[in-house]
Amino acid sequence: MPLHLLHNTTATEYPRRYGDIRDNSEWLRVLIRSYADELPAGAVFSHVSAALIHGLDPPYPATDSAEVVRPGFHRAKKTLRTRDRSLNSEELTHVGDLPVTTVGRTLVDLATDYPLEVSVPFISEALRRGLASHESLHSSIRSGTRGCRRAAQAFDLASPAHESSGEALCAVKFFRFNIIGMIPQVNTYDGAGAWIARNDFRHDKHPLIVEFHGVGKYYLNNAGPDRASSENHERHMKLLNAGYRVFNLVWADLFRAREFTKIRAAIAEFG
């Protein structure tokens, strides 16, 4: 379980240190662990804290506070946020010794209270890992309550086909920029029917492809970053020669408008 201290027989450093935005989540895990024995009666971990406890990875630092729900109490401290929420027994569970909302309730809370950029990657990961289904999530929405429309939108945008947080964020940005028709994880072939690649996103009508390049694609490749970069360039050229317009996005592109404005304009040019 992600928040338990590691077994004495392992030599793994805790918390892990990455030197990037993942360190925020590691320290949030430590903070959650520090509150484990101090929760008041009726309080259970929720939202991002619950997602971390269930082993889901945040797309980027969404909060630096531990989060709980507790009926009849609402308070926001620097390191602990308490929301006044009522829960039924089916929405509660334990992971190890930690009281926590179930995966389903956690995803509903995230979809209701956080922007799409936070909730959709969490939901997509849960769908991909088989921890939830679109049907169960949509049926959990409480119609007429605050945030119910945003939750429904988050569930619609999330997909098990998103293989990373970056791809899930791409889907959100397509929605934000009114880019319609981008299908995730599509096999692409040339004019002779030869397979070229499985692309992160391809337009359903026009020869336009969007690829997201996370750092892991290069540095977690068994053959090393040089080999991965060379293979990516070769694939890119094959796609261009087959008549596709290709947009290659990196993490920073997900947080600025320029590339998505270009994608929208390119689709418009096809008519």
162-208 pLDDT, tens digit per residue, is: 999 999 999 999 999 999 999 999 999 988 999 999 999 999 999 99
Do 31 and 130 fall into the same domain? yes
Domain finish residue from 139, 160, 181: 160
Q: Based on the fold, state whether residues 177 and 96 are members of the same structural domain.
A: no
Q: How far apart are the C-alpha atoms of 162 and 260, rounded to whole Å?
A: 18
CB-based contacts of 187, cutoff 8 Å, min separation 6: 195, 197, 198, 199
pLDDT band at residue 3, thresholds of 50, 70 and 90? Answer: very low
Nearest alpha carbon to residue 126 among 201, 59, 51, 184: 51
The model's pTM is 0.87
Strands (DSSP E) found in 112-191: 182-189
What pLDDT, on the 0 to 100 scale, is given for residue 233?
72
Lowest mean pLDDT among 13-17, 50-54, 134-138: 13-17
Assess if residue 128 is contained within a domain. yes
Final residue belonging to a domain, choices 107, 133, 160: 160
CA distances 17 to 32, 35, 65, 131, 224, Å, are 17, 21, 19, 27, 22
Mean pLDDT of the chain: 87
Give per-residue pLDDT as tens, 73-102. 888 888 999 999 989 999 999 998 899 999
**Helical (H) or strand (E) element with 97:** none
Between CA 194 and CA 17 the distance in angstroms is: 43
> Where are the extended beta strands (E) located within 35-139?
44-45, 66-69, 75-76, 80-83, 92-95, 98-101
Contact 79, 65 (CB under 8 A): yes
207-261 residue pLDDT tens: 999 999 875 443 334 554 445 555 677 888 999 999 999 999 999 999 999 999 9
pLDDT at residue 268, rounded to an integer: 96
Examine the fold and report which residue of 101, 125, 160 is the final residue of a domain before the chain moves on: 160
Q: Judge if 89 and 115 occupy the same domain.
A: yes
* Edge-first strand listing for the sheet containing 182-189: 182-189, 195-203, 208-212, 245-249
Query: How many CA atoms are closer than 13 Å to the CA of 165, on its beta-carbon side?
Result: 15
Domain with 42 in it: 22-160
What does the alpha-carbon distance between residue 175 and residue 103 come to, in Å, rounded to a whole number?
A: 25
Q: What is the pLDDT of residue 19?
A: 55
Percent of the chain with pLDDT over 90: 66
> Do 93 and 218 share a domain, yes or no?
no
Residue 60 resides in a domain: yes
Q: Looking at the structure, tell me whether residues 92 and 187 fall in a common domain.
A: no
Q: CA-CA distance, 113 to 210, in Å (whole number)? A: 29
Residues 36, 155, single domain; the answer is: yes
Q: How many CA atoms lie within 13 A of 271 on its CB side?
A: 0
pLDDT for the residue 110: 97
| 40 or 133: which leads in pLDDT | 133
Do 107 and 33 lie in one domain? The reply is yes
Same domain, 108 and 222: no
Examine the domain organization and report whether 149 and 26 are in the same domain.
yes
140 and 34: one domain? yes
Q: Does position 14 have pLDDT exceeding 60, yes or no?
A: no
Number of domains the chain is built from: 2
Does some domain include residue 14?
Answer: no
Name residue 222's amino acid.
N
pLDDT at 148 over 60: yes
Candidates 97, 42, 100; CA nearest to 72 is: 42
Residue 138 lies in a domain: yes
Tell me if 171 sits within 8 A of 184, measured CB to CB.
Answer: yes
Please check whether residue 88 lies inside any domain of the structure.
yes
